[in-house]
Amino acid sequence: MEASNDNANDDMISRTREVWQSRLGREPSRDEAIQISTNLTGFFSVLAEWSLAKLNKPANENGQPATSIDDEVRHDR
């Protein structure tokens, strides 16, 4: 299983170097490619977290518990 992960990582690093070479004007080192892919993964993880947080925000986002407007107790229900 680790060998397949190593191959996938090597492919990702190679592809990262290929893509970023034209943007940098030089071929990035292996360490630079690893750093680039780590940064991009982290960036998109943060975006995903923000998106989920926005979807799960409660309707009464004022920090107070939801209360009834009518404080009177009703026994007719």
- pLDDT tens, 19-74? 999 999 999 999 999 999 999 999 999 999 999 888 776 666 666 665 656 555 55
Residue 71 placed within a domain: no
CA–CA separation, 64 and 45 (whole Å): 30
Query: And the tokens for 44?
Result: 């998109």
Residue 72 placed within a domain: no
Q: Determine how many CB atoms are found less than 10 A away from the CB of residue 37.
A: 18
Residue 52 placed within a domain: no
Residue 51 placed within a domain: no
Q: Determine how many CB atoms are found less than 10 A away from the CB of residue 12.
A: 14
Contact 37, 12 (CB under 8 A): yes
Record the pTM. Answer: 0.61
Tell me how many domains the chain contains.
Answer: 1
Residue 55 placed within a domain: no
For tokens 């009703």, what's the residue?
Answer: 74
Note down the domain range covering 19.
2-40
Residue 36 placed within a domain: yes
